[in-house]
């Protein structure tokens, strides 16, 4: 897999064709899911394939900004409780999203609002809890071009038209600080094709709840730190899923380009980086 190209190419789809994915392809997807990348390898997880129609009766327990997305298929990730379980769900789920993108299928992350209620409605006999839900299928071409929702605040919500190449929602120069929050990082010495620069571009292309992207990076010596900011429109659960998605994009690109399999360190020593109120360091990656 070319994770860099897939990270740039992937997009969230809200409208799907009324067309089933072939059974052989669904079987392949479940096989891929069983061996997907994980942030916490020892954490027990299980994937379930759900078909269309569930959106009619799980609305209220799951949905994008409160609304269920009507899709021909859904992938549900069940997870054991544990430290970083939702970050792991985001990491594993986005690996499957990129694989689905490679297969020519469209996807959409769906927020789980009530894990216990969702488990009850789906009649799941498992000790594991619902942690991630992904709609997928064939994209229905939007009339008048493609758009994306852009939410700055509850009173500032509008749609942006996609034209030509879909650029990162965050630019690298705006998302990376040098050792202290707000301190610009000099990127002039970085080669555009370097593994680090491409990994940061991929991370900036990562999806997030309502396209808010409440995260930034700090460079300190031979580590890059991922900071999560407080955001009024992002729930704590969505914030943790977002972090796992960002970590997947960064780790897969930098590791595959270097042919070295790096890993995020989630228990990070406390360091004063002058973070804004409510922000915290979610992990660090040795570079």
pLDDT, tens only, 121-147: 999 999 999 999 999 999 998 665 555
Over 77-126, what HEC string results? EEECCCCCHHHHHHHHHHHHHHHHHHCCCEEEEEEECCHHHHHHHCCCCC
- Give the whole-number percent of the chain exceeding pLDDT 70: 89
Q: Are 133 and 71 in contact (CB under 8 A)?
A: no
Q: Which two tokens stand for residue 200?
A: 């940061």
DSSP state of 14: S
CA max distance for the chain: 55
Structure-model confidence comparison of residues 109 and 169, the more confident one = 109
What superfamily in CATH does domain 3-137 come from?
A: NADH Oxidase (3.40.109.10)
Q: How does strand 106-112 pair with strand 73-79?
A: unpaired
* Residue found by looking up tokens 């891929």 in the block: 32
- Pick the range with the lowest mean pLDDT from 41-45, 66-70, 265-269: 66-70
What's the rounded mean pLDDT across residues 221-240? 93
What's the rounded mean pLDDT across residues 26-53? 94
Q: Where are the domains of the chain?
A: 3-137, 165-286
Radius of gyration of the chain (CA): 18
Nearest to 149 by CA among 15, 248, 270, 255: 15
The pTM assigned to this predicted structure is 0.90
What's the rounded mean pLDDT across residues 164-181? 76
Q: Do domains 3-137 and 165-286 have the same CATH topology?
A: yes
Residue 30 has pLDDT above 80, yes or no: yes
CA–CA separation, 250 vs 153, rounded Å? 27
pLDDT confidence of residue 138: 97
Residue 149 CB partners (closer than 8 Å, separation 6+): 157, 159, 160, 210, 211
Q: Nearest 5 degrees, angle CA 255-CA 260-CA 263?
A: 65
- Pick the range with the lowest mean pLDDT from 105-119, 166-180, 223-237: 166-180
pLDDT confidence of residue 170: 80
DSSP state of 241: H
Which CATH code fits 165-286?
3.40.109.30
Write out pLDDT tens, residues 5-22: 999 999 999 899 999 999
Mean pLDDT, the chain, whole residue set: 88
Q: Are 166 and 180 in contact (CB under 8 A)?
A: no
């Amino acid at each position: 897999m070319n994770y860099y190209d897939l990270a740039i190419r992937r997009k969230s789809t809200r409208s799907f064709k009324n067309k089933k994915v072939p059974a052989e392809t669904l079987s392949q997807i479940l096989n891929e899911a069983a061996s997907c990348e994980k942030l916490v390898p020892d954490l027990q997880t299980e994937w379930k394939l759900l078909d269309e129609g569930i959106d009619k009766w799980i609305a209220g327990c799951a949905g994008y900004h409160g609304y269920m997305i009507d899709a021909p298929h859904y992938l549900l990730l069940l997870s054991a409780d544990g430290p970083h379980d939702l970050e792991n769900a985001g990491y594993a789920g986005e690996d499957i999203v990129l694989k689905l993108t490679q297969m020519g299928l469209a996807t959409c992350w769906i927020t789980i609002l009530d894990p216990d209620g969702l488990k009850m409605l789906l009649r799941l006999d498992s000790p594991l809890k619902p942690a991630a839900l992904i709609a997928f299928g064939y994209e229905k071409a939007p009339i008048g071009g493609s758009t994306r929702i852009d939410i700055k605040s509850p009173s500032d919500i509008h749609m942006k038209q996609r034209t030509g190449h879909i650029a990162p929602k965050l630019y690298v120069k705006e998302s990376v600080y040098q050792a202290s929050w707000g301190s610009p990082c000099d990127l002039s010495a970085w080669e555009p094709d370097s593994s680090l620069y491409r990994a940061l571009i991929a991370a900036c292309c990562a999806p997030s709840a309502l396209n808010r992207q409440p995260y930034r990076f700090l460079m300190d010596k031979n580590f890059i730190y991922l900071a999560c900011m407080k955001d009024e429109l992002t729930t704590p659960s969505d914030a943790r899923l977002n972090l796992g998605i960002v970590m997947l994009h960064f780790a897969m690109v930098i590791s595959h380009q270097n042919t070295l399999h790096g890993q995020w360190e989630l228990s990070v020593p406390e360091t004063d980086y002058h973070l804004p109120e409510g922000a915290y360091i979610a992990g660090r990656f040795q570079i």
